[in-house]
Amino acid sequence: MEDTSYDAIVVGSGPGGASCATLLQKRGIRTLIVEKNDFVGGKMVSIEKDGYAYDLFPHGQVPMRGSQFEAIFDELGVRDEFEPALEPDDDRDIIKIAYRKRGWDEYRFTVQGQAMADPTPFFKLWDMDTEAEQKVLAFMTGLVTMPEEEIDRLDDLTMHEYLIEQDVPFELYSYLAFHANASLAEPIDLVSASEQVRIMRQMMLQGGGGQYKGGFGTLAKVMIREFEKNGGTMITNARVEKIVIENGAATGVVTAQGTFRAPIVVSSAGIQPTVLKLVGEEHFDRSYANYVKGLVPGWAFTSVRYFLDKPVMDVAMYVAYADESWIDMERFIRMKEGHIPDEVILFMVNHSFYDEKAAPPGKQVLVSGTICSPDPDAKEIEGLWKVMDKQMQRFFPEIWAATERREYAGPREISSLTRDAVLPGQGGECVGLGQVVGQCGRDKPSVTAPIRGLYYAGTDAGAAGMGTHQATLSGTEVARLVGHELRRRQKMQ
Ligand SMILES: Cc1cc2nc3c(=O)[nH]c(=O)nc-3n(C[C@H](O)[C@H](O)[C@H](O)COP(=O)(O)OP(=O)(O)OC[C@H]3O[C@@H](n4cnc5c(N)ncnc54)[C@H](O)[C@@H]3O)c2cc1C
């Protein structure tokens, strides 16, 4: 089968691909989506199984108010279907935070609303003196009021370097080291300070950590439904094996279901898989191929899903960290050498809080995760599951007796469902390319490939922020550029 009737082909239907394709089609550009899975949404997928409903990967939106999804739903004319499960200003205590300071035997706890603008509960949790509190307050105020140019300057600093420069109290450093792991899946001594500051600000000003009615997967389903309603074509179970390059330009894709042709190909399969596998590095300048090979992947999360015959958690989200449990490069290297830590950070989500139908009556599904390497073959993952199980029992002593079934997942599952491993140690990334110094802000890879008609959409290119929001910002930017390029080509004909 060979088809030439498209203006654009989009590889992948995660938030990057789906947002780009649905905007292109809405703007009258005839678009084909080619998706390797038999479901849409990429990592942003919601599952319904055995009476339970839960999300496999993304669990918390940042920002809750003013995310790029809102803008896309507006343009599609389906604003009424944009339904956060919690309003950003919902004043219930939603997030429980457990913290153990070095030297404390036990964890101490606090609870917070969704928009984490008030530091007072942290002051109590961290057990700080007044001088330290004043320093934290000054730092947080500075963060909220920081001009954009100042944030741009932070592209070149790791968060660790920035916090040392600012001389913040250790309690705040420790929390932000945990935050780098939990919200960006990065270590504090690699993550770009500009990226972390932007996310922190959004959490404080626009809310963070919320969910959507029907789960994150609903967002992808609505975008794809509108895409098809507007005349777009989607094929699933169709892995793109090759992106066709002719006379230095992208002209189509080859799949087991046939070859499809279009003057524009947008890949959301990731820059490294696109350049090194789908196109082939021989089509690129050697320096560009080397640049792509040298890009640093983000880290991953490994999860345990607990299917419980009675509820054990009463908040929406529960996070736990200790001064010894967040991972920086030194601790990561120790873990790689085989020293599995006794304690890990935990990020736990209770879907029933958002949606009472998320579990059969009287039951509960909890998803718990911790940071890990993106390597699908990482040896430490099973060791981490054991520590996570042990820690879950520490926080919920009744969980073991209540567990009907557990599911374990890690970078191998993430890679097989979404992103091909084309370089050693890469494939299971949460966000895509690492949000690290040298790859963020002005150094973020461009959405335009150095091949005519080839673009990258998704978290690898062109945008900043938390995973799904960043992917849709990138998809939106690519849709704008593709519109320009097609109009320019038309004028030249
Ligand atoms: C464990 C975990 C937790 C996360 N938590 C959050 C969170 O709380 N909040 C948040 O905002 N983000 C979170 N993220 C990140 C978020 O899921 C990603 O940033 C986002 O999904 C990336 O979107 P994307 O479109 O760039 O890529 P993906 O979602 O990976 O989509 C890529 C698509 O391309 C398809 N594809 C790939 N190769 C081919 C091919 N050769 N042919 C055809 N199709 C192909 C894939 O099947 C997939 O559908 C999390 C991710 C993980 C793994």
Contact 11, 253 (CB under 8 A): yes
Q: Within 167-255, where are the H helices? A: 170-184, 193-206, 217-229
Distance CA(4)–CA(112), nearest Å, equals 54
- Answer whether residue 159 shows pLDDT above 90: yes
Last residue of a domain, one of 206, 225, 244: 206
Mean pLDDT over 249-273 rounds to 97
CATH of the domain at 256: 3.50.50.60
Same domain, 219 and 80: yes
If you average pLDDT over every residue of the chain, what do you get?
95
Q: What is the CA(108)–ligand 1 centre distance, in A?
A: 34
Average pLDDT over residues 204-213: 86
For 324, how many CA atoms within 13 A lie in the half-sphere containing its CB? 13
Mean pLDDT of 298-321: 95
| Distance of CA 426 from the midpoint of ligand 1 (Å) | 14
Position 116 scores a pLDDT of 64
Same structural domain, 180 and 221? no
Contacts of 31 (CB under 8 A, 6+ apart): 6, 7, 8, 9, 10, 21, 24, 25, 227, 232, 233
For residue 3, pLDDT beyond 60: no
- What is the pLDDT at residue 89? 72
Residue 427 lies in a domain: no
The answer as to whether 154 is a domain residue is yes
Whether 175 is in a domain gets the answer yes
Per-residue CA distances from 159 to 175, 294, 344, 444 (Å):
12, 22, 21, 17
- Domain-ending residue, one of 364, 388, 417: 417
Indicate whether 304 and 413 sit together in one domain.
yes
198 and 136 in a common domain: yes
Question: Within this chain, do residues 218 and 197 fall inside the same structural domain, yes or no?
Answer: no
108 inside domain: no
On whether both 438 and 408 belong to a single domain, the answer is no
Cα(294)–Cα(291) distance, integer angstroms: 5
Residues 306, 390, single domain; the answer is yes
CA 199-211-181 angle, 5° bins: 40
The residue-averaged pLDDT of 65-79 equals 96
* Residue nearest (by alpha carbon) to ligand 1 atom 34: 12
pLDDT at 156 over 50: yes
Instruction: Note the pLDDT of residue 59.
Output: 87
Neighbour count for residue 21 (Cβ, 10 Å):
33
Q: In this model, does residue 88 exceed pLDDT 70?
A: no
Q: What are the tens digits of pLDDT across the range 444-473?
A: 999 999 999 999 999 999 999 999 999 999
Residue 431 CA, ligand 1 centroid: distance in Å: 7
Residues 305 and 249 in one domain: no
Query: How far apart are the CA of 16 and the centre of ligand 1, in A?
Result: 8
pLDDT at 63: 93
Beta strands in 352-493 (DSSP E): 364-372, 403-409, 454-456
Residue 376 lies in a domain: yes
Q: Are residues 78 and 218 in the same domain?
A: yes
- pLDDT tens digits along 413-437: 999 999 999 999 999 999 999 999 9
Does 99 reside within a domain?
no
278 with 189, same domain: the answer is no
- The domain tally of the chain equals 3
Distance 428 CA to ligand 1 centre (A): 10
Residue 110 domain-assigned? no
Claim to verify: residue 266 and residue 370 sit in the same structural domain: no
| 413 shares a domain with 306 | yes
Atom of ligand 1 nearest to the CA of 18: 25
- Domain carrying residue 146: 116-206
Which residue, judged by its Cα, is nearest atom 7 of ligand 1? 58
Q: What 3-state class would DSSP assign to 230?
A: coil
97 in any annotated domain = no
pLDDT band at 85 (very low <50, low <70, confident <90, very high): confident
Residue 291 backbone dihedrals phi, psi, to 5 degrees: -60, -45
Average pLDDT over residues 128-156: 95
Q: Is the pLDDT reported for residue 215 higher than 70?
A: yes
Q: pLDDT of 172-202, one tens digit each?
A: 999 999 999 999 999 999 999 999 999 999 9
Give 329-364 pLDDT, tens digit per residue. 999 999 999 999 999 999 999 988 888 888 999 999
Q: What is the pLDDT of residue 4?
A: 59
Residue 1: predicted pLDDT: 47
Residues with CB under 6 A from ligand 1: 11-17, 34-37, 42-44, 57-61, 239-240, 268-269, 301, 303, 369, 414, 418-420, 430-432, 458-459, 466-469, 471
Residue ending a domain, among 417, 446, 465, is 417
